[in-house]
A and B are shown apart, each in its own frame.
Chain A
Amino acid sequence: MAIFIDLLLNALVIGVLLGGFYAALSIGLSITFGLLDVVNIAHPTMLVLGAFIAFLLNSTWGIDPVLAGIISTPFFFVLGWLIYQVYYNVFEKSGAESLRGLAFFFGLLFIIEVGLIIQFGVDHRLVEAPYIGQSWNIVIGEEIDVAIPFRLLVAFVVAAIATLAIHAYLTKTFFGRAVRAVAQDMMALRLMGVDPIRVKRIAFAMGVATAGIGGALMIIVLPIEPSLGRLYLGNVFAIVVLGGLGSISGTLLAAVIIGIAESIVATFFGPSWAPAVSFGILLAVLAFRPEGLFGKTAGAH
């Protein structure tokens, strides 16, 4: 029994931490896709780009990966700004079907991926930081102790701060409310004298900017290689849809749910079933409640 409680406690703790990490990967997509309706399928690959930048800064100058992520965030903001500029002029302005926008980001995904391969090769990369490989052991009782790996804890704390900050920004500030309004009623914004395109551009750039810090967390948690983004493609979209489009707090909750589901399944049923469980949840939600677990607007539009 003690062993069972020990495993369960650890699975829950790891699940919550993992959820925070997943939230950091998904939050940018929650903005670009959830709020702005731009299907940025290249987002996970942008995260990998962020991870490689953190690797570069870490291996060349020994900069802490979290700091490296903060340093690269403005770069991603500019990148997002430019991408939206192209996206708007070519697709959105002409009201082009979403399929073409999707294909555009698909192409972008591969361009970034191959660019990384050409620059860094296909080897797996890691970063060095004093907290990686260390853990914090909390003894709770006889045969029950919880081990918290620092790399997950760092990822969780940074992710939580970033997510809450974005959530606060979008709900409390005028600009944030404008972003949320853009998703619902562009016309009303125009009447209020706000340029909706400018709002969308900045919001999209913000979403992409999260790839800087998110990518840094990625390489702290696991080894990276250029095509890693593809593996996480399903995960991040699952989380955003599960949380309900447009809901930042929903994304955080959904990420924690997926994290806990994965670590419980990995502990008690076998790790290889974990993706089937999380995507099973997604598929069930899509089939029976397309608006997501926490969404308010109907998903089938």
Chain B
Amino acid sequence: MKYTFEIICMLLIVGLFVLTQVVGNQFYFFIGFVILQYMVMATAWNILGGYGGYVNFGSAGFLATGAYTAVALINFLDVGLVEQMVAGGIFAGLLGLATGYLTLRLRGVYFAIATLALAIILETVVAHWDYVGGAAGTSILPKRKPELLGELIVDRKAGIFANYKEYLFFLMGTVAIISVWVARYIENSKLGRGLNAIKDSEEAAECMGVPTLRLKLIATTISGAMMGVAGAPLASYLTFIDPLSAFNLEYAINAIAMPMIGGTVSWAGPVIGALLLGTAQQVSSLWIQSELNLLIVGVVLVVFVIIAPEGIIGWFRKSRQGSRR
């Protein structure tokens, strides 16, 4: 069937909604949100990094752009979460476009370092922007009884969701599913094939008439926008935000590590990587020791790049081919 994937996506969104209504323990939504947020980050990173071969080290900068757009909007207009996410996506997308323009001549490691530098400059600027809390950070209290299209969304008794964690979880889950759909669409489209050509050899791609410049700009914009959407609810989730937590290098690292572990060639890679690594980190930091989640990222990453260079997906493909022979 032509739309099988889309139907599965819709079913998953419905499934997420059912989960929020059935599961009573907020704690699961609390950690589920983080894993889903990482899924969006990994998927977004992979569009540029996995398909196009451009390694973004500054993912945290895009996430923080979304988060701080949301904070500014809350302070300025007191808008709801969905609007914050849309705005966060727009601003981070514009940042992505600007990054693309600024780094047109840069390849490989130079591009990676430029994105890192960009994130650091942004962090410094935000640290001086007192309207959003400056270096000291700011507390965000989510709206008491938020409404969307006339419906009461979060309320202990009358709302669609009994509390904010459920709402945030559902929103992030929906975003994650849409991101994965977009990534899959890109992968099978002209854009994806063009990016792949750029990854193999930018000169050759150009000679063959691939509009490398335009494709790169589209990819940086889409990737940045997704990260911004993922970052926008961060302030509401943490109820406090400061530059150090929003620009944390861990976001950048996980956004790279998760696709690498899952496999960068396909949309399923970042999803698998985020599920595995994200869950492992949450479990280890909550039940064993908080430092261990970083150790897990480190060890898993090293082991995977050594024994499974194409990630889990590549590993499966290879073993399947092997058994066929």
Contact = CB atoms under 8 A, between A and B. Distances in A.
Interface in B94-152: 102-103, 105-110, 112-114, 116-118, 120-121, 124-125, 127-128, 135
B128 A272 contact: yes
Contacts of B118: 283
B112 A102 contact: yes
Contacts of B299: 107, 111
Contacts of A106: 253, 256-257, 298, 301
A65 interface: no
Contacts of A237: 113, 116
A114 to B, nearest CB: 4
Interface string A103-119: 11011111101110110
Contacts, number: 128
**At the interface, is chain B mostly helix, strand, loop or mixed?**
helix
A89 B306 CA distance: 10
A241 interface: yes
Given A114-B294, A287-B105, A301-B107, A100 B260 contact: yes
A221 to B, nearest CB: 20
B102 A279 contact: no
A238 interface: yes
Contact of A108 (B112, B113, B253, B298): B298
B292 interface: yes
| Size bin of chain A's contact surface | 35 or more
B128 A104 contact: no
Contact of B305 (A104, A111, A115, A272): A104
A300 interface: yes
Nearest to B116: A234
Contact of A279 (B120, B300, B305, B306): B120
Given A96-B309, A99-B49, A114-B292, A286 B253 contact: no
Contacts of A104: 301-302, 305-306
Interface in A247-301: 272-273, 275-276, 279-280, 282-283, 286-287, 290, 299-301
A279 B302 contact: no
Interface string B67-93: 000000000000000000000000000
A57 interface: no
Interface size, B (range)? 35 or more
Given A39-B109, A111-B299, A275-B124, A282 B117 contact: yes
Contacts of B127: 272
A96 to B, nearest CB: 6
Contacts of B298: 106-111, 113-114
Chain A CB within 10 A, most for which of B106, B117, B298: B117
Nearest to A230: B249
List of 3 A-B pairs having minimum Cβ-Cβ separation, nearest first: A110-B298, A107-B301, A107-B302
Interface of B: 49, 53, 55, 102-103, 105-110, 112-114, 116-118, 120-121, 124-125, 127-128, 135, 249, 253, 256-257, 260, 264, 291-292, 294-295, 297-302, 305-306, 309
Interface of A: 33, 39, 86, 90-91, 96-104, 106-111, 113-115, 117-118, 230, 233-234, 237-238, 241, 272-273, 275-276, 279-280, 282-283, 286-287, 290, 299-301
Given A106-B301, A107-B297, A280-B121, 16 more contacts: A86-B306, A90-B306, A100-B309, A102-B112, A103-B301, A107-B302, A108-B302, A110-B301, A111-B302, A272-B124, A272-B127, A279-B120, A282-B113, A287-B105, A290-B105, A290-B106
18 contacts: A33-B109, A90-B306, A98-B108, A103-B260, A106-B253, A107-B298, A111-B299, A113-B298, A114-B295, A272-B127, A275-B124, A279-B117, A279-B120, A283-B118, A286-B103, A287-B102, A287-B106, A301-B108
